[in-house]
Amino acid sequence: MEFIFGQLAGFGMAFATLVSDPWTYVYLITSVFLGITFGALPGLTATLAVTILTGFFGNKIPLDYALIALLGAYVGAIYGGSYPSILLNIPGTAASAATAMDGYPLAKQGRGAEALGLTTTASFIGTLVGTAALLIFVWVLLLISKNIASPEKALLALFGILLSGTLMSADLAIKGWIAGLIGLALAMVGMDPILSEARYTFGWSYLLSGIAVVPVLMGAFAVPQIIEGMRHVRAGRVAELNGRILPNMTAMRRYLPTIGRSGVIGTGVGALPGVGEDVAGWVSYGVGKSVSEEGDSFGKGSLEGLLCSETANNACIGGALIPLLVLGIPGSPPAAALMGAFKINNVIPGPTIDPEIILRVVAIMVLASFTMFVMGLFTARIFIKVLRIPQTVFLPLVMVLTTIGSFSVGGGLNDLYLMLGVGLVAYVMNLLCYPIAPLVIGVILGGMFDETFRRSLLLSDGDLSVFVSRPGAALLLTLIIALILGQMPGAKRAIRRLKGRTT
């Protein structure tokens, strides 16, 4: 009880500090607005919103304000994706793909305003659920993480990359692992962290300091999006919107258990390393369909289906921040961009993170969700107008934004060359169905994996049993082996047989 009161008091202080600073509102309103706009424009994603703002705000304003801008954009963009899903049947972000299943049929029935009112409320509640989980579990995990040493850190980084590769791959899991390994390999470029030996620099002095995270993020997420948007022009007709956008309180009360369940699912999926809001939305939608009495109406304009995906994808944000803040492992692709902002500010998320930062993040999340809720209800018509901007007009502007953002982070022209190179590779990988998120997570965690793996061996004089002799390490190694074996054809058949017997 004392712990909870202590947390609430700390949160109250951080919240009061934020609320009493006028600059908070400037950054918050601007970033949530930009976030919703990015989410609402099909072709732009939440990851891209956070990445581009990292280029702009990451190291140019104090970290406190940079966090407001980035978290505001993150919350806004995940919510904003629901607009085109409902009104155009084109998900604005991958996170809102499941929303389109019921949102668009509702809009076609003339209930678009009701659907938008519900998604606004569900996103607001979902964000708060995730934030509450963040406030509680981050401390529990921080206590546990104090006992984490190099072997556990190395295995955790590997587990995060493999899990992200497995769950984010739309085709074979092996492609996700390959993407993760490519990311890890990119992180090997430059001076090694223990002996300062130059690796794979090919005589280019820029590479001695390693591959910079922000250009990789920009290249991996922005350039493929721009090329794809220009290659395939997607046009949709905005569904007619009748009536006011208001929360349907009767429906909210009726589906309160669904909202609670989806919030928990979203937070849980978000807490898995490298697994994003899209997976959270689909998992929650799938669970909702199988346990709901109205499961048959899912996909035909079900309010419950809509609430399942929208609550979960916003709850995922809080969940994704838990491993980021506690272990330095991003829980989702936009969280990877946030990690980039931490890195360029020389803040190392992990067991040694300043507790003030965590409390501030929680306070920002609460304020951002309120701002999103108010904007969603009162300025929705503006975002609906945004849907009419063709991507062939705004994507060229995004390219210029990306270029100047990437240039000004620090590496200058070399960062731009890196961004373009990574972008073209990422585009080809997209075409070949290799997921990009594990690659980015690999780049971010590669340095930590290299350093902690070798330090473990150094401390044990090369004895590999260091990875099984500690309980935490043994558990992680078991999980890694289970994850790999679980993708073997024999294991998959056995799991299918087992499922067949239980159903």
CA 374 to chain centre: 23
Q: Which is nearer to another protein, 162 or 372 (CB)?
A: 162
Query: Is-contact 86 383, C-beta < 8 A?
Result: no
Q: Is 199 one of the binding residues for another protein (CB under 8 A)?
A: yes
Minimum distance, C-beta of residue 224 to another protein, in the bound complex (Å):
11
Minimum distance, C-beta of residue 77 to another protein, in the bound complex (Å):
20
| Residue 93 structure tokens | 């972000």
Q: The tokens 């300043």 sit on which residue? A: 354
Q: How many amino acids of this chain bind another protein (CB under 8 A)?
A: 60
Q: Which is nearer to another protein, 126 or 176 (CB)?
A: 176
Query: Is-contact 449 193, C-beta < 8 A?
Result: no
Residues 113-172 that bind another protein (CB under 8 A): 171-172
> Judged by CB under 8 A, which of 417, 430, 472, 479 binds another protein?
417
> Judged by CB under 8 A, which of 146, 195, 490, 501 binds another protein?
195
Minimum distance, C-beta of residue 72 to another protein, in the bound complex (Å):
18
> Judged by CB under 8 A, which of 21, 64, 192, 294 binds another protein?
192
> Judged by CB under 8 A, which of 144, 194, 249, 485 binds another protein?
194
Q: Is 493 one of the binding residues for another protein (CB under 8 A)?
A: no
Residues 226-255 that bind another protein (CB under 8 A): 226-227, 230-231, 233
Q: Is 177 one of the binding residues for another protein (CB under 8 A)?
A: yes
Q: What is the DSSP string of 440-458?
A: HHHHHHHHHHHHHHHHHHH
Segment interacting with another protein (CB under 8 A) among 9-17, 259-267, 339-347, 393-401: 393-401
**What is the rounded distance in angstroms from the CA atom of residue 484 to the CA atom of residue 149?**
24
Minimum distance, C-beta of residue 394 to another protein, in the bound complex (Å):
9
3-state SS assignment for residue 120:
helix
Torsion of CA 449, 359, 54, 96, to 10 degrees: 90
Q: Which is nearer to another protein, 133 or 178 (CB)?
A: 178
**What is the rounded distance in angstroms from the CA atom of residue 237 to the CA atom of residue 328?**
42
Query: Is-contact 361 18, C-beta < 8 A?
Result: no
> Judged by CB under 8 A, which of 13, 132, 149, 181 binds another protein?
181
Minimum distance, C-beta of residue 344 to another protein, in the bound complex (Å):
12
Class of residue 287 by CB neighbours under 10 A (exposed 0-12, middle 13-18, buried 19+)? middle
Minimum distance, C-beta of residue 461 to another protein, in the bound complex (Å):
8
Pairing of strands 190-191, 198-199: antiparallel
Minimum distance, C-beta of residue 225 to another protein, in the bound complex (Å):
12
| Residue 46 structure tokens | 């939440």
For residues 37 to 56, the per-residue mask of contacts with another protein, x marking binding by CB under 8 A and - elsewhere, is -------------------x
**What is the rounded distance in angstroms from the CA atom of residue 93 to the CA atom of residue 109?**
23
Residues 254-273 that bind another protein (CB under 8 A): none
Instruction: Please state the φ and ψ torsions of residue 199, each to the nearest 5 degrees.
Output: -130, 130
Residues 438-477 that bind another protein (CB under 8 A): 449-450, 453-454, 457-458, 461-462
> Judged by CB under 8 A, which of 29, 136, 149, 174 binds another protein?
174
Minimum distance, C-beta of residue 71 to another protein, in the bound complex (Å):
19
**What is the rounded distance in angstroms from the CA atom of residue 275 to the CA atom of residue 438?**
9
> Judged by CB under 8 A, which of 167, 317, 387, 416 binds another protein?
416
- Mention every residue, 6+ apart, whose C-beta is less than 8 A from residue 253: none
CA nearest neighbour of 24 among 60, 69, 55, 79: 69
**What is the rounded distance in angstroms from the CA atom of residue 241 to the CA atom of residue 21?**
37
Q: Which is nearer to another protein, 60 or 244 (CB)?
A: 60
Q: What is the DSSP string of 318-348?
A: HHHHHHHHHHS--SSHHHHHHHHHHHHTT--
Question: First-to-last CA distance in the chain?
Answer: 42
**What is the rounded distance in angstroms from the CA atom of residue 449 to the CA atom of residue 466?**
15
Q: Is 360 one of the binding residues for another protein (CB under 8 A)?
A: no
Residues forming contacts to another protein in the complex (CB under 8 A) are 56, 60-61, 171-172, 174-175, 177-178, 181-182, 184-185, 188, 192, 194-197, 199-200, 223, 226-227, 230-231, 233, 390, 392-393, 395-397, 399-401, 403-404, 407-408, 412-413, 416-417, 419-420, 423-424, 431-434, 449-450, 453-454, 457-458, 461-462
